[in-house]
Structure 1
Amino acid sequence: MGETLMRKWLLADFGLEVVELTPVMYGADIAAQVWRATTATNAYAVKWSGAGTNTGHQVAAYLADSGLPGVPELIRTSEGGLWSVHAKKRLTITPWIDGPRAAQTGLTDEQWSEYGVLLRRVHDAELPPRLRDALPKHSHIDARTPALAEEVRTRLETPEGEVEAELAAVWKQYDDVITDLLTNRPPAPHGPRVVCHGDPHLGNVLVDDGLHLIDWDDVIYAPREQDLMFMLGGMGNVGPTTPAQLNAFLAGYGPHTVDEDAIHYYRHVRAFEDVIGWSHQAITGPDEPYALQVVRGILAEGLAALAVQSR
């Protein structure tokens, strides 16, 4: 999608006369494109994405409008909407936050505690009943993953090229783990449901004077372990990496008795999504060698290994 067309959309849909538009390359969402758009007075983060659900943006807008610190506001369209649609993809805009991803810089213990406070506020938020009832209760990614798994497995029967051959070898090496992820899912939890971000790892946290939780595409109404799972191991440098960091997060988050069965379930679901999703990207692109590296890490010492070992 060209820069000229994007400028046209931003002017027509949001009334923004952009003087500079710069692509931002980050993240695993290959269905999305992100830009930094600058006008004469302000800078904005522009996202054009076919991923996730509309509900996530509605939740983020409600939380931001309610004054919840750390949730960026959504810039309204000229007609007052939260997004516009082009080629069946949502175009959304938030103010540009001039800070790095926490995945790149890490968080201090104090910031981990601050992040615990932020995530607790999200989980404790009371939504209007209509919005709460519209929230998905199951992962939209998980729903389409079995078909991708079959596609990957078929492709790896006759791999083409070096990356596919290496991926086939990785799948063979970790056949027991992958089979467990495909066939041995734990029972779904039945605990109280809350608003969950769905993907609150440090790749979705920006750091400036405070912390900002971004990318609300995967919002889900689920037991809070859906989000807490990301803090309890297997996530490498996008989760806590020391006991002190974990303790700081939990201190900020406050009292909650963790449902270990729910953690096992959501860990298993996410590992399944990640192994299959990154394997599919290693075959179809972009950045196939990097995707292969991610798959190997998830299976060897990351979330997949932990999901199977903790059963």
Structure 2
Amino acid sequence: MPEKLKFNETAVANCLLNNYGIEVVRVVPIDGGADQNALVFKVESRGSIYFLKQKPSSVDDSALVVQDFLHNQDISEVLSPIKTNDQKLSASINQSKLVLYPYIEGFSNAEKPLSEQNWIEFGQTLKKIHSANIPESLQGSIRLETYSTRFPKDLVRIISQIHEDSFTDPTTLRMVEFFRLKEEELNKLLLRTDQLCSKFKAQSRPLVLCHSDIHAGNRFVDKNGGLRIIDFDEPIFAPIERDLMFIGSGIIRPDTSQEIDLFYRGYGKPDFSLEAIAYYRCQRIIEDIVLYAEDVLYRDIDVSDKATSLDCLVSNFNSGGPLEFAYQTIK
């Protein structure tokens, strides 16, 4: 489970003053969304606003180095951290670290549709990321795709636990009932994911730098209409399908056929594997189911947050939802 982060406004203000020379007026917590491993804030200073992430000290800065590298390689759409006075990408505070970004006024693709030009820019930007020539000094710090079976195994464990344990919490009981109702479909999903992985791995696809979480919530448009790529926190060397699977996946929001066409007008016509797209979509659904189920079963969070996690879990199975899109990838 993620380390429990503690927020101390005075300590944060002192850290920002000492490391960035920023005199803080106010620090406002922001809903961190699905990132269980960070606290996020809007920082107001005299005349400026910043976006702040607080992360466990155990999280290394390799993702920040990637963000900084890409931003300085003519891929300015990738949001990169503001450096400290001594040119570091984060600042230590107690048992955690602070990462400071410019505060971007605008909206995400989860909130509003992108314009036609934004979709083309998104395709162009992702192509530049996939084509980036990463220096050897940085390559060793970026994880490699291993086609991990962690989340499928976790889902099997959760299904077993639901049969063996007894529960009293109303939200947990609702989830248990849903899992029992969908158990056959969950087992079908697990089997399909395993079969697709076997076919896909045999193809030996080339590896490129991937964002790995480029869903609608991480496609952002600033107040001037410019596209921004945010939350580049889990870079990975993987086949292009690791990112391309999000286009038309139904995750967070459905993309229209016109939007998909506009994206590929910017990206170009890639040689991708439908088996790989289907695998990554199924794998992502399993991951989301596990993480939301763990929210309900294990995490010390508010009742309303547990209910929200359960709703997100269930939404994967809705008509027109991610599971339907995943199964339609290969008829």
TM above 0.5, yes or no, is yes
Question: Partners of 1:53 and 1:303 in 2: how far apart?
Answer: 32
Cross-structure match for 2:21: 15
Q: Which among 174, 184, 207 is matched to residue 182 of structure 2?
A: 174
Question: Partners of 1:206 and 1:12 in 2: how far apart?
Answer: 31
Q: Secondary structure at the match of 1:5?
A: helix
CA drift of 1:39 comes to: 2.0
What amino acid is aligned across from residue 99 of structure 1 in structure 2? G
Q: Secondary structure at the match of 1:296?
A: helix
Q: Which among 259, 276, 289 is matched to residue 307 of structure 2?
A: 289
Mean Cα deviation higher: 52-61 or 285-294? 52-61
In structure 2, relative to structure 1, the CA distance for the partners of 1:37 and 1:141 (3 Å cut) is farther
Contact 2:159 2:179 in 1 (8 A): no
Q: Secondary structure at the match of 2:140?
A: helix
Cross-structure match for 2:237: 221
Q: Secondary structure at the match of 1:134?
A: coil
Question: Partners of 1:308 and 1:94 in 2: how far apart?
Answer: 38
Q: Which among 189, 211, 218 is matched to residue 204 of structure 1?
A: 218
Contact 1:60 1:216 in 2 (8 A): yes
Cross-structure match for 1:163: 171
Question: 1:100-249 maps to which residues of 2 (within 5 A)?
Answer: 100-138=107-145, 143=150, 146-147=153-154, 150=157, 153-154=160-161, 157-182=165-190, 184-185=193-194, 186-187=197-198, 188-189=200-201, 190-208=204-222, 209=224, 210-237=226-253, 240=255, 242-249=256-263
Q: Does 1:303 align with 2:322?
A: yes
CA drift of 1:144 comes to: 6.6
Question: 1:271-282 maps to which residues of 2 (within 5 A)?
Answer: 271-282=285-296
In structure 2, relative to structure 1, the CA distance for the partners of 1:89 and 1:6 (3 Å cut) is same
What amino acid is aligned across from residue 272 of structure 2 in structure 1? V
CA drift of 1:71 comes to: 1.1
Cross-structure match for 1:31: 37
Contact 1:120 1:253 in 2 (8 A): yes
Q: Secondary structure at the match of 2:220?
A: strand
CA drift of 1:202 comes to: 1.5
RMSD: 2.5
With normalisation by structure 2, the TM-score equals 0.84
> Structure 2 stretches of 5 or more lacking a match?
1-6
Mean Cα deviation higher: 279-288 or 131-140? 131-140
Mean Cα deviation higher: 298-307 or 70-79? 298-307
Per-residue CA distance 1:150-179 (angstroms, 9 max, x = gap) = 357525632222211110111112112322
What amino acid is aligned across from residue 312 of structure 2 in structure 1? V
Contact 1:43 1:95 in 2 (8 A): yes
Contact 1:113 1:250 in 2 (8 A): yes
Mean Cα deviation higher: 204-213 or 280-289? 280-289
> Structure 1 stretches of 5 or more lacking a match?
none
Aligned residue-pair number: 309
Looking at secondary structure, tell me which structure has more helix per residue: 1
CA drift of 1:134 comes to: 2.3
What amino acid is aligned across from residue 267 of structure 1 in structure 2? R
Q: Which among 240, 258, 266 is matched to residue 280 of structure 2?
A: 266
What amino acid is aligned across from residue 13 of structure 2 in structure 1? R
Contact 1:53 1:218 in 2 (8 A): no
In structure 2, relative to structure 1, the CA distance for the partners of 1:136 and 1:148 (3 Å cut) is same
Question: Partners of 2:285 and 2:107 in 1: how far apart?
Answer: 26
Cross-structure match for 2:3: none
Question: Partners of 2:79 and 2:128 in 1: how far apart?
Answer: 14
Per-residue CA distance 1:209-244 (angstroms, 9 max, x = gap) = 20111111111110111000000323241x51x111
In structure 2, relative to structure 1, the CA distance for the partners of 1:18 and 1:148 (3 Å cut) is farther
Identity of aligned residues (%): 26
Question: Partners of 2:146 and 2:38 in 1: how far apart?
Answer: 18
CA drift of 1:108 comes to: 2.2
Question: Partners of 1:123 and 1:194 in 2: how far apart?
Answer: 5
CA drift of 1:260 comes to: 1.0
Per-residue CA distance 1:187-221 (angstroms, 9 max, x = gap) = 25421111101101111122122011111111111
With normalisation by structure 1, the TM-score equals 0.89
In structure 2, relative to structure 1, the CA distance for the partners of 1:180 and 1:128 (3 Å cut) is same
